[in-house]
Amino acid sequence: MLKKRLIPVLYLRNGLIVRSQEFHDFREFGNPINQLERLNDWNSDELIYVDITREGEHDLKRDDLKVKSQSDILDILRAISKHCFMPLTFGGRIFNVEQAAAFIANGADKVIVNTGAYRSPSLITQIADRFGSQAMVLGIDVKREAGGHRVYVNQGHEPIALSAVAWAQRAVALGAGEIFLNSIDRDGTGNGFDLEIIAAVASAVPVPVIACGGAGAFSDFQEVFEHTTASAVAAGNIFNFTENAYVRAKKELSEAGCPVRPFTRFK
């Protein structure tokens, strides 16, 4: 049986790590390298960085932090990749294959493409053909609304006509090798994952699905694995604000019989 993955997610906004809630409430709390070093220490399965900057400016603001102030997202990615000892996925505002290539050339193993893939579906095929389908991760942001769920692009601001299942299936047909499914209304709430939409998408496509949005307790991870066929769970706040959360989550999931990868300390 394939092992289930447990993946920390770090959101970058203007060069700093932020806490996100429902895609609109952001609170700065750290430097990307500081957080990375802690996750390296615990040998996380993978790591996802998502750049949610809107203003078009990246600035780490303080020169006394471990990396100098940098005005370009590629500089930040290079700094991250020098310290990252686990598979790294990077996403945020990728609209053409050249941008994806730049991320991969500067340290990303995979890229998450969301709005750019919807605007130009052929981009999915271009990235998959050039770097392999395993490097092309489709980001789907979904929100529960009256009558069901709705998919949004443009950082959760623009609804689209396709359902999450239909969009995931189309993207896989075009070459996407993985789905990063994020819940807008569960984001940062700690109210648990939206199991209904996770189960629907994961059962509809033959590629791995990463479920994100809503983790408030380690038992929430277990519920995803017990009630859906998702290949991985991802979370931000619970790992950033809970002492030794990643280690404790791995231990609890293993003791509950979830087929997670064994914990090994890096240092």
Three-state DSSP state, 16: strand
Question: CA 198 from chain center: how many Å?
Answer: 14
State both tokens at 237: 């706040």
Q: What is the DSSP string of 51-109?
A: E---SS------TTSSS---SSHHHHHHHHHHH--S-EEEES---SHHHHHHHHHTT-S
What pLDDT, on a 0 to 100 scale, did the predictor assign at position 234?
Answer: 96
What pLDDT, on a 0 to 100 scale, did the predictor assign at position 255?
Answer: 92
Burial bucket for residue 21 (CB in 10 Å: 0-12, 13-18, 19+):
middle
* pTM of this prediction exceeds 0.75: yes
Q: Is residue 264 very low, low, confident or very high in pLDDT (cuts 50, 70, 90)?
A: low
Q: Is residue 15 very low, low, confident or very high in pLDDT (cuts 50, 70, 90)?
A: confident
Q: Name, of 130-144, 178-192, 243-257, the range with top average pLDDT.
A: 130-144
For the segment 25-83, what is each residue's pLDDT rounded down to a tens digit? 667 767 878 778 778 877 889 999 999 887 544 454 544 444 444 448 899 899 889 88
Give the CATH fold of the 5-255 domain: TIM Barrel (3.20.20)
Cβ-based neighbour number of residue 161 at 10 Å: 8
Q: Which candidate, 50, 34, 59, places its Cα nearest to that of 88? A: 50
What pLDDT, on a 0 to 100 scale, did the predictor assign at position 37?
Answer: 79
What pLDDT, on a 0 to 100 scale, did the predictor assign at position 64?
Answer: 44
- Helix (H) / strand (E) element for 6: namely strand 5-13
The mean per-residue pLDDT over the stretch 234-241 comes to 85
With 90 as the cut, is the pLDDT of residue 210 above it?
yes
What pLDDT, on a 0 to 100 scale, did the predictor assign at position 129?
Answer: 98
CA distances (Å), origin 70, targets 76, 172, 176: 7, 35, 31
CA dihedral 51, 55, 59, 61 (to 10 degrees): -120
Separation CA 56–CA 54 (nearest Å):
6
Mean pLDDT of the chain: 88
Cβ-based neighbour number of residue 54 at 10 Å: 12
